[in-house]
Structure 1
Amino acid sequence: MGQIFLVRHGQASFGKADYDQLSELGFEQARLLGQWYANTRQSFSKVITGGMVRHRQTADTCLSMVPRKQLLETEWVTDADFAEFDHQEVLLRHCPEFADAAAFKALLASHVDPPRALEHVFRAAMQRWMGGWHDGDYAETWPDFRRRCVRALERLDTDSRQQTTMVFTSGGVIAALMQHLLGLQDFQVMELNWTLANCAVTKLMQRPGQFTLSYLNNYAHLEWLGQPGAVTYR
């Protein structure tokens, strides 16, 4: 039976000029995950990254903590179908005025609880994207995004059934795959996406033609090894 570990990237650089970079804490989260796998002596046959900088940074940092004997003959592959949806486009199609970064920051700063304000705006943007009424506004529609995520997972079914594969990806991809495996409704996918922690791991078991969820959103490594504040969601 094969195993697939879906890893959400470490905390990215929200509010910076380039979001697609790990924050200092994001790098630390990746190191903590690597220490966890070093301690558990988990070895890997294949490593896949979704093609984004934050995916590769998480992978490189995490696996730098794992002894080489656990990674011997490990194959590294980039598969862009494991990349995240364009969250900036989704937000701007709902609120075009946020193309002005200063306006976006001013809106958040005007609220007593900026994270809650961001969540409120982004939920509405996600509902617009997922609703299907405005598909012509998006380079990638919600159904297209789901299909490519499932396509990426199904490609792993062609590999050796005994492989242990580590996939460094994003929260939206993991949530979409959970919808595929568990039959979730669209609104449940959106709710799930908000609960996925940075550098948390979701494990699947693989049989020919079948993927089964073993556990979801495990971040025990951050609680066990990390300092207060090591668990983040944005």
Structure 2
Amino acid sequence: MSTLTVVRHAQGRTFQDEPDRLSDTGEMQARALGDYWEKRGIKFDEAWSGSLQRHRQTAGLALHQPFEISEDWNEYDAVGILRHGPPASSFPDNRAFQKMFEPAMLNWLEGSVDGAEPWPVFRDRVLRGLRRIQDGPPGRRVVVFTSGGPIGVLVQTALNAPDQSFLEVNWRVRNCSLTEFVFSKGRLSLDSFNALPHLSSPSLQTFR
């Protein structure tokens, strides 16, 4: 069996001019993760990152080794899902944004949103990235830097849960958290979810 550690990107500059860059807090979160791994001698046989800047920036700050980039690990098309609603920048805070975004996400799951990557296509894309990892040799330690959406897909797949459970998981994944699986070819089992052993300060424990 091999192990897969999936890291949600650190906090981004939400609703600011550069939403795909990490905030100052996000940079601290990613560096803390790197320090945690280094102190414990944790190294990975294989490392992956989504292609979004927040993925690559988190990986670059946390890892002390090269990593491969794959769009399979990118987030769902939030802009496309919200295309017919008000822009994200018009909401005063994340709570107000989430209240509006949840119904839009349900519509997306049901296939009633045009102009965005469909839910089945997104899910299959993430699972394609997973299969690429599963097809490698056994006994590896692998890490992936991604977003809450792909983490939700992996948890849903491991638990064989219904589609709507993806949304429930997606909203609970904290910035720079660790979700761990054990896997082999064709098999994926959840070992731990949403852990923050590297972030002891409450000020560094964020959702958005």
TM-score, with structure 2 as normaliser? 0.93
Q: Flag the structure with larger Rg.
A: 1
Structure 2 counterpart SS, 1:206: strand
Query: What's the counterpart of residue 182 of structure 1?
Result: 159
| AA matched with 2:3 | Q
Q: Answer yes or no: is the 8 Å Cα contact 2:80–2:117 preserved in 1.
A: no
- Following superposition, the deviation at residue 200 of structure 1 comes to 0.3
Q: 2:105 aligns with which of 105, 118, 126?
A: 126
Distance 1:208 1:176 in 2: 17
Query: What's the counterpart of residue 87 of structure 1?
Result: 78
Structure 2 counterpart SS, 1:229: helix
Distance 2:191 2:73 in 1: 20
- 1:203-234 deviation line (CA, Å, top 9, x unaligned): 111223312111111112112xxx33110011
Pairwise mapping of residues 8-23 of structure 1 onto structure 2 (< 5 A)?
Answer: 8-23=8-23
Q: Gapped runs of 5+ residues in structure 2?
A: none
Q: Answer yes or no: is the 8 Å Cα contact 1:146–1:177 preserved in 2.
A: no
Pairwise mapping of residues 88-127 of structure 1 onto structure 2 (< 5 A)?
Answer: 88-93=79-84, 95=85, 97-98=86-87, 101=89, 104=90, 108-109=91-92, 114-127=93-106
Q: Answer yes or no: is the 8 Å Cα contact 1:2–1:207 preserved in 2.
A: yes
Query: What's the counterpart of residue 56 of structure 1?
Result: 56
**Matched pairs, number:** 208
Higher normalized helix content (fraction of residues)? 1
| AA matched with 1:91 | L
- Following superposition, the deviation at residue 14 of structure 1 comes to 0.4
- The alignment-based identity, stated in percent, is 34
Q: Answer yes or no: is the 8 Å Cα contact 1:50–1:78 preserved in 2.
A: yes
Q: Gapped runs of 5+ residues in structure 1?
A: 65-70
Pairwise mapping of residues 132-147 of structure 1 onto structure 2 (< 5 A)?
Answer: 132-134=111-113, 137-147=114-124
Q: Aligned-residue CA RMSD in angstroms?
A: 1.6
